[in-house]
Amino acid sequence: MKGLYRTYATILLLLITSFAKAQIVGFVTDAITGDTISYPSASYKGQHIAVSGDVFGKFVIEYHNGWPLTISAVGYQSKTYNLKADQHDVLHVKLKPDTKTLKEVVVKTKRKRYSRKDNPAVELMRRVIAAKKKTDLSNHDYYQYNKYQKITLAVNDIQKADIDSGFFAKKQWLVDQIETSPYNHKLILPLSVDETVTQHIYRKNPKNEKDIIIGQQSNGINQLLETGDILNTTLKDVFTDVNLYDDQIRLLQYPFTSPIGKNAIEFYRYYIEDTVYVDHDLCYHLQFIPNNQQDFGFRGELYVLADSSLHVKRCELTIPKRSDVNFVENLNVKQEYTKLPNGEWVLSVDDMIVEMKVASFLSKILVTRTTRLSDYAFDPLPKQLFKGKAATKRESNAMMRDEAFWNQYRTVGLTKGESSMDAFIHRIEQQKGFKYIIFGVKALVENFVETGDLNHPSKVDIGPVNTMITSNFIDGLRTRLSAQTTANLNKNLFFSGYFARGWDSKKNYYEGTVTYSFNKKDYLPREFPKRTITLSSTYDIMAPSDKFVQTDKDNVFTAFKWATVDKMMFYNTQRLDFEWESEWGLKTTLGLKTEENEAAGRLFFIPLSSMNDANQTLVEQLRNLDDSQVGKYIHNGKIRTTELNLGFQLSPGRTYINTKQRRIPINLDAPVFSLNHTMGVKGLLGGDYTYNFTEAGIYKRFWMNSWGKIDMYVKAGAQWNKVPYPLLIMPAANLSYIVEDETFNLINNMEFLNDRYASLDVSWDLNGKIFNRIPLFKKLKWREYIGVKTLWGKLTDKNNPMLPQNAMDNTLMAFPEGCYVMDPNRPYVELVAGIHNIFKIMHVEYVHRCNYTGLPTAHKDGIRFMLRMTF
């Protein structure tokens, strides 16, 4: 019996040995740098046998004695091995970069000049693109699937020398968090992990499509900041899902032309490698690369089924090494499609790894997005699932799922570092001096100082920090102390305000605001969707143009002006505002405001009927005094208004990140429509005037494929009644050197006054399309930017104080110096020519005023700038 077992064991051992020798395992690296080459290909050409390697250069292929084995990768010279009986079962392959005409493409040993005419690869791709409609899941009346997604952020490429000495040496708990990435085989330190389970549903008639988030949990460094949702929201927007079957793939907040998109033939070059078997399915193996490798496009490989469906079986995408994409050292996307029982092919695997380097003095970052799609079904779906217009819904208990839920839906396990994230963050919080470090980081990043600690979350935040010290024409030096309560005090009721002091004017200013939110908030009342009622009272000073600047008017960085802002006014305002946002993008606002304005500096409120000798003398004095003297004139007339406001804004699909100071949209692809009407009521709460002001606006972004994007703002408005000039329409003037959207760069404060207006602001970011073809600029990776801003305005006779028939009017007021009437037949025009991506963070614009240059207030040219980080 023992002999029989020994015989079985020997046979089993021989079988195992035979099987082991029947495979070749290869590791592919760059012959010059030694770096891993992701997704290499190994094939027995002419035998219909090929495999694709993984992201860290490993491949496994069957051993066939005497067959030539070819190893290739996009951008490298291929290498062929003639396998022999004594061939070692492990190959270490070193490929040399291809330096031929096509640089980063390796397809065949003999190349001809690329031509689309009579090109078999191009003809095949035309058929693949045409076949997309047949395999589109939206052909079904209904479909649904479940999606599990994990996004991990980690410090990348930690060296063993760093672990043995320096920062890690005496922190064993930190060393314990370090692990080897299964994607690039480098040592990494996981910092955060976000898991989401989503049910995607679709209905053809009436057409509706929704994502229902049924589970979500997030752990990591984002827990240390109250605005930590910025991290996860941004990661999901930047490294979003890739749908190969879309014409444009949105990635890194840019549209990349899909290799099977409708414009792909003109954008890419295609090469047929071979016909190979992928998981027992015969496929055409193609490689592709952009015509210009600095354009925002992919290079990679496609495996297309060699049957009538021509569906993609597998694809591997990366970006060319000479791509103009910032901060990304390596990006790889791998997708696999699975055949359903009904014969259809659907996406099942969508993985992405991104290795990033923001600056040489900062650690490298690894972002991994792991996505699995499963449980496809085409049965009819209940109508109630499609209720509401929001494209994304979240189940009420999605953030409170237990471990049993995650064990059921987690299709890719957590690594050691990901699963111990809570303990890792707890150890960070226990480190000596950590509270001082996090205090400084929060003040710098969030612009607010928290009054709480790790064990007692902040109930009151002090800030914004950048408004504590500034200056203006009337106040000279100005100091301000601001604070706001948080949801840690009350999740529905919020208070905010400030106290400021003007040291030259010797005036004190204040604002107090109380906000009730009808939906509970995580930290601040402005979180989407905003559903609030707010009561506020303010006494302060401002320039009329301050209302057009989106940042805080006391922002120290916007205090530097290109023109003297000497027309200002004190305002004493009480207002009640109601705001209600729907989850699908409609915002409704309703407000009541009463305000008293007092002119200051070179601004004055004097009705034409009161232009007696004394007032005329005051006007002449203000025009002739120098700046140091005019600042003392702070009682130049008053007006009082009471108004009702109703406004609507529709921005479907827009997503936001919440900071402690404001809410910032991060997805600007959706159009924005706005409509507002303001009605002044004479006699209500002391209001002096009756008026009606209507304004409408449209914003739209147009993606021009590889030619960048065009942003367009169109606005129009009318003041329908006879009103004094403070209630006329003044241009959106930006008097600072910092670029502000939707404003004019070279119009002075109150330079034009109208009661009808229309404006057009068009800017085109060409994303380096032209500079990439100029040798010097190509190396700098600068990107070009052009724009035009136009303003058409008209002042009807009833509101023109310069006409003889209005000389003694009781309503109209004399214009201050520097205010003019536009010619309705000559719109104002200014041009913008800019360069951005300077040092990857700087945006500089040259602005030129084309007309109305003869006015004393006119500045013909200027330079504006801003810090702007883009991929």
* Least confident span in 25-34, 244-253, 471-480, 606-615: 606-615
> How large is the average pLDDT for residues 140-155?
92
E-only strand ranges, 187-241 = 187-203, 208-220
- Assign residue 10 a region (left: φ > 0; alpha: ψ between -120 and 50; beta: otherwise): alpha
pLDDT attached to residue 98: 67
Q: Which residue has the higher pLDDT, 579 or 417?
A: 579
Mode of pairing for the β-strands spanning 392-394 and 208-220: parallel
Could you identify the residue written with the tokens 């612009």?
447
- Buried/exposed code over 249-284 (b: 16+ C-beta within 10 A; e: otherwise): bbbbbbbbbbbbbeebbebbbbbbbbebebeebebb
Question: Among 416, 95, 104, which residue's Cα sits nearest to residue 268?
Answer: 104
The DSSP output letter for 821 is P
Annotate 44-105 with three-state secondary structure: ECCCCEEEECCCCCEEEEECCCCCEEEEECCCECCEEEECCCCCCCEEEEEECECCCCCCCC
pLDDT attached to residue 634: 55
pLDDT attached to residue 85: 60
Q: Which tens digits make up the pLDDT trace of 504-544?
A: 889 999 999 999 999 998 888 988 889 999 999 999 999 88
* 825: Cβ contacts below 8 Å, ≥ 6 apart: none
Query: CATH class for domain 543-867?
Result: mainly beta
- Residue 391 pLDDT more than 70? yes
Token pair belonging to 135: 């395999």
Name the average pLDDT for the chain: 84
> How large is the average pLDDT for residues 489-515?
95
Q: Which residue has the higher pLDDT, 10 or 626?
A: 626
Question: Degrees (nearest 5) of the Cα angle 645, 643, 646?
Answer: 5
Q: Which tens digits make up the pLDDT trace of 826-866?
A: 999 999 999 988 887 888 999 999 999 999 989 999 999 88
pLDDT band of 72, cuts 50, 70, 90: confident
Question: Among 170, 243, 255, 172, which residue's Cα sits nearest to residue 209?
Answer: 243
> How large is the average pLDDT for residues 796-825?
91
Question: Among 281, 275, 409, which residue's Cα sits nearest to residue 343?
Answer: 281
Q: Which residue has the higher pLDDT, 557 or 611?
A: 557
- Residue 362 pLDDT more than 80? no
Token pair belonging to 143: 């479909």
- Residue 9 pLDDT more than 60? no
pLDDT attached to residue 629: 55
pLDDT attached to residue 15: 34
Provide the 3-class DSSP secondary structure of residue 237: helix
* C-alpha to C-alpha distance for 98 and 93, rounded to whole angstroms: 15
pLDDT band of 612, cuts 50, 70, 90: low
Other beta carbons within 10 angstroms of residue 660's beta carbon come to 22
Question: Degrees (nearest 5) of the Cα angle 778, 783, 784?
Answer: 115
Question: Among 25, 35, 38, which residue's Cα sits nearest to residue 90?
Answer: 25
Q: Which residue has the higher pLDDT, 453 or 616?
A: 453
pLDDT attached to residue 118: 83
* 616: Cβ contacts below 8 Å, ≥ 6 apart: none
Decide: pTM greater than 0.75: no
pLDDT attached to residue 13: 35
Other beta carbons within 10 angstroms of residue 516's beta carbon come to 14
pLDDT attached to residue 228: 55
Q: Which tens digits make up the pLDDT trace of 466-487?
A: 889 999 888 999 999 999 999 9
Q: Which fold has domain 2-112?
A: Immunoglobulin-like (2.60.40)
Residue length of the chain: 871
